[in-house]
Amino acid sequence: MKILVTGGAGYIGSHTCVELVQAGHDIVVVDNFVNSSMEAIRRVRKLCGTEFPFEEIDLTDGPATDRLLEKYPVDVVMHFAGLKAVGESVQIPIEYYRNNLGSTLSLLSAMKKHGVKNFVFSSSATVYGADAPVPYKEDSPVSRITSSPYGNTKLMIEYILKDTVRAVPGFNAALLRYFNPVGAHESGEIGEDPSGIPNNLMPYIAKVAVGKLDKIHIFGNDYDTPDGTCLRDYIHVVDLAKGHVAALKKLEENCGVFVCNLGTGKATSVLEMVKAFSAACGKDLPYDFAPRREGDLPETWADPTYARETLGWTAEKGIKEMCEDVWRWQSRNPNGYRD
């Protein structure tokens, strides 16, 4: 298939480009580098062994997005582009709504004009209601409003896509709800490259391991969990990328709306993750216990049954590989793509 990958210079998009090309698809990539760099595209091209087309475009620019789909007649849009920092979204909600909703609406308008009918959306487990029991299933209740503007953009875009499927004959939308993507490509060439001090656990641990930060702060050790720290469903980014390749099958079947969790079904505590990374990098990483972080749920993990049954997809890589691959990426690229 011919696939437009938006946000393809970013963390998840770059890994998905590699898996799409390896699966025999043709890709066109777009990014505005608000949170990434051209070096990621160079490395993805190198890994793929092909000079796929790349366009630097801000997808909130409607006419530019329209010209993009005019130039490249694609079968599918895979929409990774978006702003994603939960805390930042609380500080600058307007920018988050403008960017995440605006880019999606530009794409949908251009798709309507050019007859493109398949959309894959990077949604998130954050759309599930705080009261939903774990593990989350696709029919678990979603929040009426999430705990952040970022999460609300995910929820709103899910509704926009559901309405589009209802209104546009033949339109299909795969809403893929990611759990906690971590890891890096096993080559060590591409990985997560946050700017500044990372907010998420895995990149923070990686920066401590490489000596860029002093110690890990574990947010809360008095939760009602086996070791008192929060439980999450960490999924290797390459498994996640393969989940996108698998989801193309549903679009070909004319699925209409397809909602699917992409997680492993396994829960790992913060403390377990710190220990696993210490083993991967061969040194005991320093940590302390800090107060709970506002808004954190004690435990979230996926029920991955539906993905297995409908896509024949199951995550294969465990915590050990996730940590080893991040360590390979981080130790070879201590400054990310900026070297």
* Interacting partner of 217 out of ligand UDP, ligand NAD, none (Cβ under 5 to 8 A depending on kind): ligand UDP
Spatial distance between the Cα atoms of 95 and 45, rounded to a whole number of angstroms: 31
150 is catalytic: yes
* Interacting partner of 219 out of ligand NAD, ligand UDP, none (Cβ under 5 to 8 A depending on kind): ligand UDP
* Interacting partner of 230 out of ligand UDP, ligand NAD, none (Cβ under 5 to 8 A depending on kind): ligand UDP
What residue ranges bind ligand NAD (CB under 6 A)?
7, 9-13, 31-36, 58-60, 80-84, 99, 103, 122, 124, 178, 181
Spatial distance between the Cα atoms of 93 and 112, rounded to a whole number of angstroms: 28
Class of residue 294 by CB neighbours under 10 A (exposed 0-12, middle 13-18, buried 19+): exposed
Q: Considering the complex, what minimum distance in angstroms separates the CB of residue 103 from ligand NAD?
A: 4
Q: Considering the complex, what minimum distance in angstroms separates the CB of residue 294 from ligand NAD?
A: 18
* Interacting partner of 7 out of ligand NAD, ligand UDP, none (Cβ under 5 to 8 A depending on kind): ligand NAD
Q: Considering the complex, what minimum distance in angstroms separates the CB of residue 339 from ligand NAD?
A: 18
Q: Considering the complex, what minimum distance in angstroms separates the CB of residue 11 from ligand NAD?
A: 4
SS3 state of residue 37: coil
Per-residue tokens: 105: 């609406």
* Interacting partner of 332 out of ligand UDP, ligand NAD, none (Cβ under 5 to 8 A depending on kind): none
Between the alpha carbon of residue 252 and those of residues 32, 126, 135, the distances in Å are 29, 28, 29
State yes or no: residue 296 binds ligand UDP (CB under 6 A).
yes
**Those residues with Cβ within 8 angstroms of residue 46's Cβ, 6 or more apart along the chain or in another chain:** 189
Q: Considering the complex, what minimum distance in angstroms separates the CB of residue 194 from ligand UDP?
A: 11
CB-CB contact of 106 with 79 (8 Å): no
Looking at the Cβ atoms of 114 and 217, the one nearer to ligand UDP is: 217
Looking at the Cβ atoms of 81 and 110, the one nearer to ligand NAD is: 81
Span of 212-220, 301-309, 317-325, 326-334 interacting with ligand UDP by CB under 6 A: 212-220
Residue type for position 225? T
Q: Considering the complex, what minimum distance in angstroms separates the CB of residue 14 from ligand NAD?
A: 8
Q: Considering the complex, what minimum distance in angstroms separates the CB of residue 259 from ligand NAD?
A: 14
CB-CB contact of 136 with 303 (8 Å): yes
* Interacting partner of 31 out of ligand UDP, ligand NAD, none (Cβ under 5 to 8 A depending on kind): ligand NAD
User: Binding residue for ligand UDP (CB under 6 A) from 4, 17, 165, 270?
Assistant: 270
Which residue's CB atom is positioned nearest to ligand NAD?
Answer: 10
Cis peptide before 135 (omega within 30 of 0): yes
Q: Exposure string (b/e) for 200-232, b if CB count within 10 Å is 16 or more?
A: ebbbbbbbbbbeebeebebbbbebebeebbbbb
Choosing from 72, 150, 178, 204, which is the catalytic residue? Answer: 150
183 φψ region: left (φ > 0), alpha (ψ -120 to 50), beta (else)? left
CB-CB contact of 313 with 248 (8 Å): no
DSSP of 239-295: HHHHHHHHHHHHHHTT-SEEEEEE--S--EEHHHHHHHHHHHHTS---EEEEPPPTT
* Interacting partner of 122 out of ligand UDP, ligand NAD, none (Cβ under 5 to 8 A depending on kind): ligand NAD
Per-residue tokens: 39: 């070096």
Which residue's CB atom is positioned nearest to ligand UDP?
Answer: 230
SS3 state of residue 174: strand
Of residues 133 through 192, those in contact with ligand UDP by CB under 6 A are: 180
Note the residues at the interface with ligand UDP (CB under 6 A). 180, 199-201, 204, 217-219, 230, 232, 270, 293, 296
Residues noted as catalytic = 150
